Amino acid sequence: MDTSTCILGIETSCDESAAAVVRLNADGSGDILSDVVFSQLDEHAEFGGVVPEIAARAHVEKIDGLIDKALQESGTDLAHIDAVAATSGPGLIGGLMVGLMTAKALSAAADKPLYAINHLEGHALTARLTDRLEFPYLLLLVSGGHTQMVLVRGVGDYARWGTTIDDALGEAFDKTAKLLGLAYPGGPAVEQAAKAGDGDRFALPRPLRGDKRLDFSFSGLKTAVRQTAQATAPVSDQDIADICASFQTAITDTLRERVERSLKRFVNEYADTCKDPALVVAGGVAANRIIRQALEDLCDKNGFRFVAPPQNLCTDNAVMIAWAAAERRICGFAADGLDAAPRPRWPLDEHSASVVGHGKRGAKA
């Protein structure tokens, strides 16, 4: 690498509006010059989930001001950045349209290249910004409606080893929280309730345990939680805590067993070429202390380095979008045209066949 590049990134794929300026240096290191996020959590909390129309309107109202603030905080301006990047998918179509159209307008007005970025690629490459990670490495991606195990071989070079065949892990947490009358978002609420609970009280299933595939399944576990709550009704605060703790224990056991299979495959295939194997965890699961500790212990056991970017870079943010564009630009990937379209569904590994299990969700995985 013999050059550097500075990118303005825009993220509007779900319920956070964000803008950031990131510089990739000639030595491969990166600098976050600004990172501005507007969270819509309060706007959606009363509905127990994200309302697409509300999210899109909020993006329209906030994104221009966030971009101005990001540029000001970075100490630069549009004339001195090298390119504009925006999330082009996957995500909510209304939000994607706002961010991508804004990026197109800035690109055309300032005569700057445009990069339409896959949100999942942003997650996949963030560890190279935060930890200077070298290729290849494994990625446990738990973001929004995605739960995947991905081999990251290089920029733009990904192989999906496993995916959920029904519910994503984040959906399982949110639905469990809603079922038990806990707050949104479900992940933090379930984790908090579980602190006072007995994780051994209820015998919940460990989906796909022993299955040779590297896929995940959480629909049956979610159903078991509902049946347990119904059988225990009326539930007390202690019952709720015990259900949450048992659910969290089941999730942790499931991830440990499923992920270890991928670690062993990686060792078998890359033992001769990768002397410092690493597992990167990106998305909301990295914030759960019990799950995180279990994955750290699993990595220690199998000789892997455990890498989890800071929490603000695991959730939706524009830093990862700018960084992914910078990596693509330095690697010689062509910029996108003004005809780039938003893609509500955009798999990171476009060569992998869709996986549809008993909890059929169509060609989503």
Look at residue 360 in the predicted model and tell me its pLDDT. Answer: 37
Write out the two tokens for 204.
């919940």
Instruction: Tell me which residue has tokens 């303005």.
Output: 8
Domain match, 102 and 245 both: no
353 Cβ contact partners less than 8 Å away, ≥ 6 residues apart: none
Q: Is residue 250 included in any domain, yes or no?
A: yes
329 contacts 5 by C-beta, under 8 angstroms: yes
Write out the two tokens for 156.
């733009």
Q: Is residue 351 included in any domain, yes or no?
A: no
Alpha-carbon 49 to chain mean position: 17
- The stretches in the chain having pLDDT less than 70 are 1-2, 353-365
Domain match, 92 and 156 both: no
Domain match, 138 and 270 both: yes
* Predicted TM-score (pTM) of this structure: 0.92
89 contacts 73 by C-beta, under 8 angstroms: no
Q: Is residue 338 included in any domain, yes or no?
A: no
Q: Is residue 339 included in any domain, yes or no?
A: no
What CATH number is associated with residue 246? Answer: 3.30.420.40
Structural domain containing residue 278: 134-311
Domain match, 287 and 196 both: yes
Domain match, 208 and 96 both: no
DSSP 79: G
Q: Is the peptide bond before 113 cis (omega within 30 degrees of 0)?
A: no
Look at residue 356 in the predicted model and tell me its pLDDT. Answer: 54
Look at residue 284 in the predicted model and tell me its pLDDT. Answer: 76
Look at residue 357 in the predicted model and tell me its pLDDT. Answer: 46
Look at residue 359 in the predicted model and tell me its pLDDT. Answer: 37
Domain match, 69 and 15 both: yes
Domain count across the chain: 2
Q: Is residue 96 included in any domain, yes or no?
A: yes
Which residues share a beta bridge with 17?
38
